[in-house]
Amino acid sequence: MTQTGSGFLTINTEPLKSVSDIERTTLMTLIPARIAGLFGGRRWRSLAPLAVLIVLCVLIAIANPNFIELRNLVRLANSAAVPLTLAMGLTFIILMGSIDLSVEGTLSVAAMVVVLLAANDSNGNDYGWWGVLAAVIAGTAMGFVSGLVQTMLRIPSFMATLGMWFIGLGLSVYMLGGSAIRLNDATIRDLALTRFLGLPLAVWVATGAFLLATVIQYHTRLGRHILAIGGDEDVAKLSGVNVVRVRITAFALAGFFFGIAGVLAAAQLGQSHAVIGDGRLFAAVTAVVVGGTALTGGEGGVVNTLIGVLIVTVLANGMILLGISPYIQQTVQGLMIIAAVALSLDRVRLRIVK
Amino acid sequence: MKDRKSLTLSGTVSRRTLMLGATAGVAALAMPRVLRAQEKPTLVTSIRSLSNPYHAVWKTGAEAYAKWAGLEHVTLVSEGNSEKGIADIKAMLAKTGGNMVLNSDPNDTPDARPIVEACAKAGAYVVTQWNKPPDLHPKDFNPNYVSHIEFDGISSGKTIAEILFKTIGGKGGIVALGGLISTTAAIERKKGLDAALAANPDIKLLDFQVANWKSTEAFDLMGNLLTRFGDDIKGIWAANDDMGSGALEALRAENLAGKVPIVGVDGIKTAVDAVRTGEFACTVTSDPFWQGGMGLAIGYNAKIGKFDPTKEPPEHREFYGKAVLISHDNVEEYYKTNVDAKPEIDWNDLWGRVTGAIRT
């Protein structure tokens, strides 16, 4: 994905690596590499996540034909909506070689803002869709602050966003007073309950988020610059990329997506409590990585992430359909993650594995 | 304590002031406990977090009692960190000189021992709830360790299961959502479900899945379960209300809300509302308002000598509290007394909700 269309801005590091690397590879990485070589090498690799997804779907469908029922596909899309929107934002950050741990904090702030401003069972507010707007702005602001902290205070994104995570969580605990507050605004709840062409509106919103992210990544300067920074920040800087501005914008953009996800989550659950984001960070990072975006940055993209999110969602759905005991589901999930990453990352080219 | 404070404040200290200060300090420490206890004790609540509705209500109950009794009240929050929970309690013991009453929901089972030992050493009175190791007994720390309160998870799980079965007409398939696998409450409530299932052979448990106490996880899980079993699902048993409400929203997205009854445990507001609308068949609550207030009341009454813990029967030292069932029959009344208004509890009725000694 990254090679096509990104032109001179993508820094292709391949020629920089010495030929002797191949001698250091082990048997385990060599064999899949050879197989991959038969099918055209790197192009095959970039399709590996898609192959995993297809194999997974076929296997589950054989075991339980209910899987391909229309109703189930709609449910799959519905439960992928929030993770997809989140992962869109996260993809840009990971593409830069940074990480955003504030996913859960930002999401809970956005959910808190929308619930407290729209009709709810705790205060008399009834601002309707202004609440949604405010929630998305709040999410964007959180991301913007993360970016500022990272670039201006020169704090690594890991710590900066960890801080923002706790700040956001603390803020929503305080504002919600520790309890769950119901969202009573019918038009916002319609995001989850009303369907258009058979799909809940939340799915359409998530699709919109995906399209927006695709446009940003492949058709804007910002998208190219993010990729360039992830590939090699020094080179990008020397080429005249304003790294600070790109980083801040990217974090704000991520916050924007987290904000939308927060609204969707609140609409789906019909309530907001501080822990509404619990477990979402891990799911989002998993989806991004399983989709084939490298944590080191510069490789992958939002299309990969779409496939990653689908893999994770299909897997969760499939395990229930297959009746896998809840006591071992996590183990299966772990195995799948390792397998997917093993297939999609070109480990032959990894000189160092940290 | 006093001398140390003067030391830090004055900077330069002559030998005489040091001696004077030290003597005063030693004298203060040597004063019999009784003398110092004449000051009103501080009430201390130690809970896991304020970010869940359960402990938030717990705190309001504690504050209501403190107000009623006219005492100082402090809430300590461990944020799920056992070390912090214990350290905060020790700091409070030091601050109050042991002149306090603690009502604690220990973060984890092993925490109860260091908490009780620290309180006994400092002369404070302590009541624990939910978590304690089986070999830790109030009678071994007379009189400071007054009581330990739990709620019978087996009976809660069984009661809601039976009401669910009755609601769906005694036959058909149900799915169950369990809590975090390793927790006692999750294990006990499931045992209760199993017991009810054994007594109702016409009810089929289609699947038991774990949603880790969370509505978000239950929401996704329920969608998947609907795919697998479709209309075979006649009812949903959830080990807590939060998961039950997540399942309810998944049903609502499929236009099934109210058609498939749900039961849960905890009595959170969302669930009580759902019982009113008929979307939940029932919920059962340990009444955190009562837990927060009565735990302090029992400790305080022991401290001021209203009763002597050493002379109380075993079922007042380690007991199961009475859970309150909220179903279609009593939900309106419950709503009036507990949701619209602050619950009225007779804080003098210390043992009114004892249902029996804890199984060993």
Each residue's pLDDT tens digit, B262-271: 999 988 888 9
Q: What is the pLDDT of residues A4-17, one digit of tens each?
A: 444 444 444 444 44
Looking at every residue in chain B, the average pLDDT score rounds to 87
pLDDT at residue B31 in the model: 55
Q: Which residue of B has its CA nearest to A202?
A: B253
> Is the predicted pLDDT of residue B11 greater than 90, yes or no?
no
Closest CA to A147 of A167, A133, A135, A164: A164
How many CB pairs below 8 A link A and B? 108
Q: Would you call A178 and B50 a contact, using CB atoms and an 8 Å cutoff?
A: yes
CA distance A17 to chain B (A): 44
pLDDT at residue A206 in the model: 95
Looking at every residue in chain A, the average pLDDT score rounds to 83
Q: Which residue has the tokens 């774990």?
A: B210
Cβ B67 vs Cβ B345: under 8 Å: no
Q: Which residues contact B351 (CB under 8 A, 6 or more apart)?
A: B316
Q: Which residue has the higher pLDDT, A21 or A240?
A: A240
Q: Would you call A75 and B227 a contact, using CB atoms and an 8 Å cutoff?
A: yes
- Rounded CA-CA distance A25/B128 in Å is 58
Cβ A207 vs Cβ A191: under 8 Å: no
Q: Would you call B214 and A182 a contact, using CB atoms and an 8 Å cutoff?
A: no
Which segment of A75-79, B188-192, B317-321 scores lowest on mean pLDDT? A75-79
Q: Would you call B249 and A64 a contact, using CB atoms and an 8 Å cutoff?
A: no
The rounded Cα B260 to chain-centroid distance in angstroms is: 30
- Rounded CA-CA distance A196/A203 in Å is 9
Task: Report, as an integer, the average pLDDT of A76-100.
Answer: 92
- Rounded CA-CA distance B346/A228 in Å is 69
pLDDT at residue B41 in the model: 92
> Is the predicted pLDDT of residue A18 greater than 50, yes or no?
no
B-facing residues of A in 123-152 (CB < 8 A) are: none
Q: Which of A192, A200, A269 sits opposite B215 (nearest CB)?
A: A269
The three state secondary structure string of A67-130 is HHCHHHHHHHHHHHHHHHHHHHHHHHHHHCCCCCCCHHHHHHHHHHHHHHHCCECCCCCCCCHH
Q: Of A334-338, B37-41, B55-59, B84-88, which has the strongest mean pLDDT?
A: B84-88
% of chain A with per-residue pLDDT over 70: 84
Q: Does B335 touch chain A (CB under 8 A)?
A: no
pLDDT confidence of A22, banded at 50, 70, 90? very low
Q: Would you call B228 and A327 a contact, using CB atoms and an 8 Å cutoff?
A: no
Q: Does A15 touch chain B (CB under 8 A)?
A: no
- Rounded CA-CA distance B137/B110 in Å is 13
Q: What is the pLDDT of residues B302-347, one digit of tens each?
A: 999 999 999 999 999 999 999 999 998 898 988 888 878 888 899 9
Cβ A337 vs Cβ A292: under 8 Å: no
Q: Does A202 touch chain B (CB under 8 A)?
A: no
Q: Does B204 touch chain A (CB under 8 A)?
A: no
Q: Would you call B227 and A317 a contact, using CB atoms and an 8 Å cutoff?
A: yes
Q: Does A201 touch chain B (CB under 8 A)?
A: no
Q: What is the pLDDT of residues A194-215, one digit of tens each?
A: 888 888 999 999 999 999 999 9
* pTM (whole model) above 0.90: no
What is the DSSP secondary-structure string of B71-87? Answer: --EEEEE-TT-HHHHHH
Q: Which residue of A has its CA nearest to B50?
A: A178
Q: What is the pLDDT of residues B77-93, one digit of tens each?
A: 988 788 999 999 999 99
pLDDT at residue B28 in the model: 59
Q: Would you call B224 and A316 a contact, using CB atoms and an 8 Å cutoff?
A: yes
Task: Report, as an integer, the average pLDDT of A308-312.
Answer: 92
Name residue B147's amino acid: S
Q: Does A265 touch chain B (CB under 8 A)?
A: yes
Q: What is the pLDDT of residues B15-54, one digit of tens each?
A: 676 676 667 666 655 555 545 545 889 999 999 887 777 8
CA distance B231 to chain A (A): 12
Cβ B242 vs Cβ A270: under 8 Å: no
> Is the predicted pLDDT of residue A343 greater than 70, yes or no?
yes
pLDDT confidence of A179, banded at 50, 70, 90? confident
Q: Which residue has the higher pLDDT, A325 or B158?
A: B158
Q: Does A321 touch chain B (CB under 8 A)?
A: yes
Q: Extract the tokens encoding A33.
A: 């590499």
Q: Would you call A326 and B252 a contact, using CB atoms and an 8 Å cutoff?
A: no
The β-bridge partners of B354 are B321
CA distance B171 to chain A (A): 22
Q: Which residue has the tokens 């969202």?
A: A183
Q: Would you call B227 and A69 a contact, using CB atoms and an 8 Å cutoff?
A: yes
> Is the predicted pLDDT of residue A43 greater than 90, yes or no?
no
Task: Report, as an integer, the average pLDDT of B276-283.
Answer: 93
Q: What are phi and psi for residue B162, nearest 5 degrees? A: -65, -40
Name residue A177's amino acid: G
pLDDT confidence of B97, banded at 50, 70, 90? very high
Q: Would you call A316 and B52 a contact, using CB atoms and an 8 Å cutoff?
A: no
> Is the predicted pLDDT of residue A84 greater than 90, yes or no?
yes
Closest CA to A208 of A224, A191, A220: A191
In chain B, at which residue ranges do the beta strands (DSSP E only) sit?
42-47, 73-77, 100-104, 125-129, 145-150, 172-178, 203-210, 233-238, 262-265, 280-285, 318-321, 324-327, 354-357
pLDDT at residue B7 in the model: 45
- Rounded CA-CA distance A142/A149 in Å is 11
Task: Report, as an integer, the average pLDDT of A42-55.
Answer: 79
pLDDT confidence of A262, banded at 50, 70, 90? very high
Q: Would you call A274 and B178 a contact, using CB atoms and an 8 Å cutoff?
A: no
Kindly list the residues from chain A whose CB atom is less than 8 angstroms away from the CB atom of residue B252.
Answer: 193, 270
Q: Which of A79, A193, A274 sits opposite B51 (nearest CB)?
A: A274
Q: Would you call A66 and B217 a contact, using CB atoms and an 8 Å cutoff?
A: no
CA distance A287 to chain B (A): 16
> Is the predicted pLDDT of residue B99 greater than 90, yes or no?
yes
The rounded Cα A155 to chain-centroid distance in angstroms is: 23
Q: Does B19 touch chain A (CB under 8 A)?
A: no
Q: Extract the tokens encoding B118.
A: 């620290």
φ/ψ region of B148 (left if φ > 0, alpha if ψ in -120 to 50, else beta) reads beta
How many Cβ atoms sit within 10 Å of the Cβ of residue B151?
23
ipTM metric: 0.72
Q: Of A46-50, A164-168, A317-321, which has the strongest mean pLDDT?
A: A164-168
Q: Which residue has the tokens 């009454």?
A: B301
